[in-house]
A and B are shown apart, each in its own frame.
Chain A
């Protein structure tokens, strides 16, 4: 790997994902931070943590704003500067990127980054309306487009253009549920069959219920340090080697191609170049499977397979644990769950476990290079990170 480390992950924490009855955002975030602190006894949080970046999309659902200082208060880190970042479902992928930037700028040497979302107190149609706010309201939601429908438009275009079939979509769901069944923190820890997935009810054709990720509560966090400081806190840090981010149109309709997400292609290119790697060097990846078709498009946009080959790529087993590039070993958004603000750093949490050999029953043997891909909305934001183990 040619690049130099941008930052190191010295610890990570994740709450359970799912319906966390009676717990709200600040309390769920505290659960994730507790784990990260317990994993890192050499860290004195009040002395060492210099800055906090927290991703959180739908703060208005609790009639609560000002989430930065709120979570800083609730995890005992006042007066460290704290800020909430919002970029729809990419909010904590961006928190990670801004934490790296703070370290690289020399403004802080130890940073807490993370994300949180509370969604299950909402009725499903209210939750999906909040989520749809990441698209172009005046021309999409307000005309009756739901968030699943926007990805369904991409699925229809992909199936029309290439040999992608409903079965391929279902295979993504089956794989991710198989992985989620091995993750004790996943929202749904149950395997499903291809037949079940394909017989589930249609949400927005051609997408069915099992093509959609879950509405979950949850929080995640990482403790980042300047690379040279990492060994002070752990013998086994994970180094962040590349970061990339790009934007695209807020309306899906303004794009010339509905079968690819340009922001992903550009963010990945930036992250790969910074890390000095190629897509085939990736040993394990967490990608943004908000819908099954999205995972298939990400395989192509991240360069794991050729354009239009995403369907046959999942069919080949390449993205299973044991395949050439295991994808979403955590269960992904599909089975682990999708508390939107928490998702980006939850992906990094899984890669941290994989690259430090702590992923237990879903461990990818010998994994040294990891990748996370976090999407905001229907691809108006994409953020990609590349990681390397210290081994």
Chain B
């Protein structure tokens, strides 16, 4: 599914991080694809660091990928203290880009390099800034 980011007639959705998280709120993991060189970006960029184009198209990703590396955090920051210990990792999406995030496992499940994961989404946080809905990963 493609949406044109730079077509003003259809209402431009700039390839910003805030818009990325707005899509998360709709349950969609979106990447920005550079119109000129074709490189895919998650998070989106407003300027392609490879070819300096500023024309991108939004592209919805499947959100499926494999765990590249992970850590179980025992000493957590305040905002996540209630969840500790929790797992974070870097996921290689099947579209060829990496995305970091929390990996939420079920009872008895253990993180393992190479495990298949799929993206999921949370409700926006109640307090603090920014109040964007977070994505996370679950076993596929």
Contact = CB atoms under 8 A, between A and B. Distances in A.
A144 B90 contact: no
A153 B113 CA distance: 11
A160 B112 CA distance: 11
Contacts of A107: none
Interface in B100-119: 100-102, 113
A21 interface: no
B99 A253 contact: yes
B102 A146 contact: no
Interface stretch (A35-43, A56-64, A196-204, A307-315): A196-204
A357 interface: no
A252 B70 CA distance: 12
A129 interface: yes
B88 A149 contact: yes
Contacts of B113: 156, 160
Nearest to B79: A144
B109 to A, nearest CB: 15
Interface string A191-213: 00000000001111111000000
Nearest to B70: A156
Given A153-B89, A252-B90, A140 B72 contact: no
A148 B68 contact: no
Contacts of B70: 153, 156
Chain B interface bracket (under 10, 10 to 19, 20 to 34, 35 or more) = 20 to 34
Given A251-B100, A258-B90, A152 B71 contact: yes
Contacts of B47: none
Contact of B100 (A148, A155, A205, A253): A253
A125 B68 contact: no
B116 to A, nearest CB: 17
B75 interface: yes
A342 to B, nearest CB: 24
A258 B68 contact: yes
A157 B88 contact: no
A145 B69 contact: no
Interface string A215-249: 00000000000000000000000000000000000
Interface string A131-148: 010000011111111101
A254 interface: yes
A142 B99 CA distance: 13
B100 A125 contact: no
A212 to B, nearest CB: 9
A128 interface: yes
B134 A125 contact: no
B120 to A, nearest CB: 13
Contact of A252 (B43, B80, B100, B134): B100
Contact of B76 (A139, A144, A201, A251): A144
A140 B100 contact: yes
Nearest to B114: A160
A201 B79 CA distance: 21
B86 interface: yes
Contact of A144 (B68, B83, B98, B130): B83
A206 B102 CA distance: 16
Contacts of B68: 157, 258
Contacts of B78: 125, 129
B15 to A, nearest CB: 14
B37 interface: no
Q: Quick one: which of A149, A201, A251, A254 has the most chain B CB within 10 A?
A: A149
Contact of A258 (B69, B74, B86): B69
6 contacts: A144-B88, A145-B100, A149-B88, A157-B69, A203-B74, A251-B100
Interface of A: 125, 128-129, 132, 138-146, 148-149, 152-157, 160, 201-207, 251-254, 258
Given A146-B77, A204-B73, 15 more contacts: A129-B77, A138-B43, A143-B100, A144-B73, A144-B102, A146-B73, A148-B73, A154-B69, A156-B71, A160-B69, A204-B75, A205-B71, A252-B100, A253-B90, A254-B98
Interface of B: 17, 43, 68-80, 83, 86, 88-90, 98-102, 113, 130, 134, 136
> Which 7 A-B pairs give the minimum distances between C-beta atoms?
A152-B71, A144-B80, A253-B100, A157-B69, A205-B72, A253-B98, A153-B69
